[in-house]
């Protein structure tokens, strides 16, 4: 996948234009000074230390990396943008500023300040952070981050039109595109951080907006453009009280407001009726899918007006949700040999869908609707209570008793009222006919109550060996408005072992074996075994080796389900750094994700392995005549090797290779389905070079190669493979 960009952020995001202007000006001034190690340039390349300068009573360190990308790529542009999305152009690669008062007594505003930023100028990830404090008076932290989320994979929700369609019109690109921008602002301040009483306040905002392409699965499966803007604002205030040296009591109040503004508009008006009216046939351009239409086109190329089609469609669903919540938390070790911590959280949520509106004009032949208009509203409440408590009693110097209790309860009633007016008709050339209006109301509720109790004993059997043995029991009850009442009991032993055979060698091993007498969903396990083994070995200061085994096994072996699943992880890492001139970093991981669950489905042409249901016809009773074992297997290998060189004091270099390989399988429900990314390879070799021109100036160059390919046929779509070269050049100034 892409290089792992760090996420940090800054700046208040006021709503008024005047405040936004002041904030933008402040951001420009700060970003001229700021800096962070951008992975595209600084990763794995050591930087020369800077002694800093004393400026106005502050020991100051600063660095600025300015440069840009030169990008060339071939193959699939959508896949390159989905996985990489780095484009050519100038950039603020890194900025960093750190200030520390030489004499805190003479510092008026702050004793310590640090700020960093990277990615500005066009990268998909932009981040700025700002932290400063003044002794015992306050501690402030803030961040702003912006990232573009782009996803365009042409097998996603692709109907894969069968070749016997008349006419045959394959969908080369997915009708579902995701292209949004998210902006996140986080600000926190704590007053009197070292005092017995410390109030704190914070604000967080998350705004996500942009277009997506979607479909409406009615009649002709219309193509839609979804314009949306969703925002979440969180205000919080609280106080920490330290009545004793080892006891802290905290109270917090949170107000969260969610605002969702989503609207849908019809697109794909690529055809015409005989009178010239534009019409959309969506993705169903064939008699195979567009039944009972004999043929979607007339001999003259115009659309058959008796087929499913869209002349116009709009919808909007404005949603508002308020999450007021309060939390009480404490932690204490004031009682000899006893450590405790606990939390109580209460949340009362109100959500409202106001003025829902859906307007359809066209033809949906199944209910013989020429047009429909749906309006209405919905409201929901959610009352949530969480209680967590943990206590550790050090019975003897080598034996401790641990008790953990978790309680979670919520109830969620919801109501809705919708009015639908349907206009009859059998042809898009004829105006809508007689109207029928139906008003429906509905009440739904979901309640859940969960209690989990964990008890275990830890014994230091030897100075370098600890054994723990415990037991977990949970009681979960789920009810709804329809009278369903599901009770699930889960229980099982817990075992842990921690060894340190030598000062350089550590081993940890844990086993959890849980069993349940019921399951909420078909893939909810009734039996779970979780094995974890971690080991690290540091025989020399310059050599470290580590390995991990993580195995999760799930089972739900009941009739008509037969769910089996596992997630098995094996990883190994080694770091070799014999001196400052060179080093090696090695990593390898293998992950096997597997599941199989019986399920029923229908298909125009049964695929290999499909079977009709024998008596009793479970699938046929559901109107789905075929059954499959739902086999899914995703073995994935990941490997990387990295080298760091410093052959001379001023020259630093790094090079490496990263690779991931997937060779999986899934049941082909559609005869035109291909494995796609389930059988794919992704490679990202890289090289980096940095040369110190003098004590303050450095020249830097970075090369990254991206290659994605699939080892199977591409299917009825455009190819998804691509190759990309990203060259990054920059100049660094630091003191």
Tokens representing residue 34 in the block: 């700021």
Question: What is the domain count for the chain?
Answer: 1
Length of the chain: 735
Enter the DSSP assignment of 32. Answer: T
Answer with the residue of higher pLDDT: 295 or 451: 451
DSSP helix/strand/coil, 365: coil
254 belongs to a structural domain:
yes
- Report whether pLDDT(284) > 70: no
Q: Is residue 140 over pLDDT 90?
A: yes
Mean pLDDT of 348-375: 92
Within-domain flag for 158? no
Which two structure tokens, joined as six digits, stand for 179? Answer: 């292209």
Distance between CA atoms of residues 169 and 7, nearest Å: 43
What are the angstrom distances between the C-alpha of 195 and each of 244, 245, 579? 12, 11, 45
Per-residue model confidence (pLDDT) at position 219: 74
**Comparing 484-498, 677-691, 711-725, which segment has the lowest mean pLDDT?**
711-725
Per the domain annotation, does 38 fall within a domain?
no
Return the sign of the alpha-carbon dihedral for residues 20, 25, 26, 32: positive
What pLDDT, in 10s, does the model give residues 648-688? 989 999 999 999 999 999 987 777 889 999 999 999 999 99
Q: Is residue 107 part of a domain?
A: no
The pLDDT of residue 16 is 34
Instruction: List beta partners, residue 343.
Output: 329, 388
Residue 187 CB partners (closer than 8 Å, separation 6+): 12, 140, 141, 142, 143, 202, 203, 204
Secondary structure of residue 184 in the 3-state scheme = strand
Q: Which residue has better confidence, 484 or 614?
A: 484
Which structure tokens are listed for 654?
Answer: 């790094």
Bond before 434 cis per omega within 30 degrees: no
Any bridge partners for residue 279, and if so which? 271
Least confident residue range of 112-116, 191-195, 493-497, 670-674: 670-674
Whether residue 511 is contained in a domain is answered as no
> Residue 720: which of 658, 676, 668 has the closest Cα?
676
Query: Average pLDDT of 116-136?
Result: 95
User: Is residue 312, in this structure, part of any structural domain at all?
Assistant: yes
Q: For residue 161, what pLDDT band results from cuts at 50, 70 and 90?
A: confident
Q: Note down the domain range covering 319.
A: 191-445+456-462
Distance CA 221, CA 364 (A): 10
Name the least confident of 3-12, 194-203, 389-398. Answer: 3-12
Q: State yes or no: pLDDT of 615 exceeds 90.
A: no
Whether 614 has a pLDDT exceeding 90, the answer reads no
Per-residue pLDDT tens for 322-334? 999 999 999 999 9
Q: Is residue 249 part of a domain?
A: yes
**pLDDT at residue number 629:** 81
> Given pLDDT bands bounded at 50, 70 and 90, which one contains residue 604?
low
Sole residue written with tokens 């600084």: 42
3-class DSSP assignment, residue 155:
coil
Angle subtended at Cα 251 by Cα 246 and Cα 253, rounded to the nearest 5 degrees: 155
Which of helix, strand or coil describes residue 258? strand
What confidence score (pLDDT) does residue 113 get?
Answer: 96
For residues 357 and 361, what is the distance between their CA atoms, to the nearest angstrom? 13
**Does 66 map to a domain?**
no
Express each pLDDT in 67-114 by its tens digit. 999 999 999 999 999 999 999 999 999 999 999 999 988 888 999 999
Give the residue-averaged pLDDT of 473-493: 93
In 3D, which of 115, 15, 118, 234 has the Cα closest to residue 23?
15
Q: pTM of the full predicted structure?
A: 0.85
Note the pLDDT of residue 630. 84
Above 60 in pLDDT, residue 547?
yes
* C-alpha distances out from residue 632 to 568, 628, 635, 663, Å: 14, 11, 10, 11
Q: Which of 158, 287, 222 is nearest to 716 (CA)?
A: 158
Residue among 592, 501, 512 nearest 539 (CA): 501
pLDDT average, residue stretch 351-380? 92
């Amino acid at each position: 996948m892409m290089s792992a960009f760090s996420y940090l952020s800054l700046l208040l995001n006021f709503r008024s234009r005047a405040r936004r202007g002041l904030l933008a000006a402040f951001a420009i001034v700060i970003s001229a000074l700021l800096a962070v190690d951008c992975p595209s340039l600084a990763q794995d390349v050591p930087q020369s230390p800077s002694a800093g300068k004393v400026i106005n009573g502050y020991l100051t360190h600063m660095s600025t990396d300015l440069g840009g990308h030169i990008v060339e790529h071939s193959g699939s542009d959508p896949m390159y943008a989905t996985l990489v999305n780095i484009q050519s152009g100038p950039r603020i690669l890194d900025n960093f500023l750190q200030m520390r008062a030489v004499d805190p007594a003479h510092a008026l505003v702050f004793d310590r300040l640090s700020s960093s930023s990277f990615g500005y100028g066009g990268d998909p990830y932009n981040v700025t952070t700002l932290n400063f404090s003044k002794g015992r008076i306050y501690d402030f932290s803030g961040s702003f981050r912006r990232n573009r989320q782009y996803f365009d994979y042409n097998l996603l929700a692709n109907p894969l039109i069968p070749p016997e369609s008349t006419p045959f019109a394959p969908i080369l690109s997915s009708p579902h595109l995701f292209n949004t921008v998210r902006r996140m602002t986080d600000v926190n301040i704590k007053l009197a951080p070292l005092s017995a009483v410390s109030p704190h306040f914070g604000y967080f905002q998350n705004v996500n907006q942009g277009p997506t392409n979607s479909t409406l699965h009615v009649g002709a499966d219309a193509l839609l453009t979804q314009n949306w803007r969703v925002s979440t604002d969180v205000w919080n205030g609280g106080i920490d009280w330290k009545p004793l040296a080892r006891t802290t009591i905290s109270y917090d109040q949170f107000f969260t407001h969610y605002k969702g503004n989503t609207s849908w508009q019809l697109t794909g008006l690529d055809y015409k009726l005989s009178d010239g009216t534009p019409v959309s046939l969506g993705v169903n351009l064939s008699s195979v899918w567009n039944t009972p239409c004999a043929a979607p086109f007339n001999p003259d190329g115009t659309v058959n007006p008796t087929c499913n089609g869209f002349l116009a469609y709009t919808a909007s669903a404005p949603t508002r949700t308020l999450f007021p919540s309060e939390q009480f938390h404490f932690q204490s070790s004031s009682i000899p040999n006893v450590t405790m911590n606990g939390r109580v959280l209460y949340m009362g949520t109100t959500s409202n869908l106001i003025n829902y509106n859906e307007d359809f004009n066209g033809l949906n032949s199944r209910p013989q609707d020429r047009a429909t208009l749906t309006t209405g509203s919905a409201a929901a409440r959610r009352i949530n209570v969480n209680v967590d408590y943990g206590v550790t009693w050090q019975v003897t110097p080598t034996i401790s008793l641990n008790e953990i209790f978790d309680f979670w309860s919520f109830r969620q009633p919801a109501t809705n009222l919708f009015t639908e007016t349907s206009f009859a008709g059998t042809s898009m050339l004829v105006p809508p006919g007689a109207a029928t209006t139906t008003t429906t109301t509905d009440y739904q509720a979901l309640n859940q109550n969960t209690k989990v109790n964990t008890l275990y004993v830890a014994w230091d059997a030897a100075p370098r060996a600890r054994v723990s043995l415990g037991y977990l029991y949970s009681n979960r009850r789920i009810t709804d408005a329809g009278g369903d009442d599901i009770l699930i009991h889960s229980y099982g032993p817990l075992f842990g072992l921690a060894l340190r055979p030598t000062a350089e060698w550590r081993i940890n091993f844990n086993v959890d074996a849980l069993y349940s007498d019921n399951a909420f969903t078909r893939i909810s396990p009734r039996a779970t075994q979780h094995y974890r083994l971690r080991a690290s070995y540091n025989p020399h200061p310059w050599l470290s080796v580590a390995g991990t085994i993580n195995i999760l096994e799930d089972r739900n072996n009941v009739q008509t389900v037969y769910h089996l699943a596992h997630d098995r992880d094996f990883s190994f890492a080694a770091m070799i750094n014999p001196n400052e001139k060179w080093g090696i970093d090695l990593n390898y991981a293998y992950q096997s994700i597997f599941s199989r669950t019986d399920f029923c489905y229908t298909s125009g042409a049964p695929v290999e392995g499909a079977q009709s249901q024998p008596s009793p016809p479970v699938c046929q009773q559901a109107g789905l005549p075929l059954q499959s074992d739902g086999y899914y297997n995703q073995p994935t290998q990941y490997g990387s090797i990295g080298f760091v060189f410093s052959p001379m004091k001023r020259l630093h270099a790094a090079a490496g290779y990263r690779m991931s390989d997937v060779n999986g399988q899934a049941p082909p429900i559609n005869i035109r389905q291909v494995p796609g990314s389930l059988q794919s390879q992704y490679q990202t070799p890289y090289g980096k070079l940095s040369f110190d021109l003098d004590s303050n100036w450095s020249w830097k160059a970075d090369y990254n190669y991206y290659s994605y390919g699939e080892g199977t046929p591409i299917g009825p779509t455009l190819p998804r493979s691509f190759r990309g070269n990203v060259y990054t050049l920059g100049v660094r100034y630091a003191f």
